Structure 1
Amino acid sequence: GELPAAMNFWHYTARLSAAGMKELITMPQILAGLGIEDELPLVGWVFRERWAQVNPAAIAGFLRASTAAKALLRESDAAWEA
């Protein structure tokens, strides 16, 4: 069968738990299972819709820079120490 599941930030997990949903695995358990001992940065970006509409080039540039930074972190252990 199918199992509906989602990975959420803690505050959404708390709301889902309050609504009767069951947490199957925690992020610390996932990281430990993957052998990741350090803290993992989880970051999201938020822009006001109107600002984004007026500044599409800035949004595109920001997202390109974010993608480049992620690529660097994938390829370079030293970048994590910088």
Structure 2
Amino acid sequence: MRIPRIYHSTPLSDHSEIVLNDDAAKHVSLVLRMKKGQWLHLFDGSNRLFTAEIIRLDKKRYLFEWMQVVWKIVNRLYIYI
């Protein structure tokens, strides 16, 4: 099963509850039609990918519980002159 990736505009913190912004919540609910208990990946531009589970649904917002960091990109580009 494919796990969707959603961008979150504010920095994500460890083991916290996350509320998506209106556009992302609309995409998750109307386009992807995700339900409570389903998983997705969240990223915030900090080179980390988080796994999150939908724990509560409201009409205009989705509440997620952050579960774990899936991967973290480390810049290993070394240039020697």
TM-score norm. by structure 1 comes to: 0.26
Q: Which has the larger helix fraction?
A: 1
Q: Which has the larger strand fraction?
A: 2
Structure number with greater CO (CA < 8 Å, separation at least 6) is: 2
TM-score norm. by structure 2 comes to: 0.27
